[in-house]
Amino acid sequence: MAQWLLVRHGETEWNAEGRMQGHTPTGLSDTGVRQAGLLAERLSNTDLSGIYSSDMTRARDTAETIVAGRHIEIHATSDLRERSYGRWEGMTRQEIRDEYPQEYALWRQGTEQFSPPDGESLVDVLARQSRLTEMLRETYPGDQTIALVGHGGAFITLAVSMLGLPLSMRPRFHLSNASISVLRVSADGVVLERWNDISHWEGKL
């Protein structure tokens, strides 16, 4: 049974300000850099058969910190990107609510087909994630450990889908920056082993 580590990127300034990031290439804040370093310490003795990262700056920088000095190639892919929020990127939830009240209400309902203006629907996100997960299942069918470095909202969508849960369950899941979650993946199904583990940095920043 393969072990998939879902690693959310370290904090950014926009995370701290509560701004939608989506496909905007934000970088790590000073706190995020320290979080990435603590992630690297936590995973230093983990034998990784592969590491895959969103190609967004904040995720790629987190992945590079994790494997620094380990001679492990990072496979960067747009399939692990956060959901695109289009014209909402850079805005806070309150700003979205004020400027796009009808669209905001539809978004909060969690409708799978809803897309923010110029953004992606959950169906779009699942389509690109499915391409990657199918490839990973074929590439790592045995007792191997791989790390996926990406984004909170996208990882929640991925995990809920792989666990066979309805997407309406998404609001019941939360992922902190620089957290580690673990899925056990086999031909028989997927088991959630750990969720939102931040013990490697909590209280240390």
CA distance 147 to 162: 16
Lookup result for tokens 């706190």: 31
Q: Please say whether the beta carbons of 4 and 69 come within 8 A.
A: no
**Which one from 9, 11, 89, 120 is the annotated catalytic residue?**
9
Distances in Å between the Cα of 34 and the Cα atoms of 44, 55, 148, 189 are 15, 20, 19, 35
- Sequence-separated (6 or more) residues with CB below 8 Å from residue 174: 152, 156, 196
Per the annotation, the verdict on 75 as an active-site residue is: no
Nearest Cα to Cα of residue 171 among 157, 184, 183, 187: 157
**Which one from 82, 89, 103, 120 is the annotated catalytic residue?**
82
| Phi, psi (rounded to 5 degrees) for 99 | -90, -30
How big is the CA angle at 50 (ends 189 and 43), to the nearest 5 degrees?
95
| Token pair of 24 as six digits | 């905007």
Q: Please say whether the beta carbons of 13 and 97 come within 8 A.
A: no
Per the annotation, the verdict on 134 as an active-site residue is: no
**Catalytic residue positions?**
9, 82
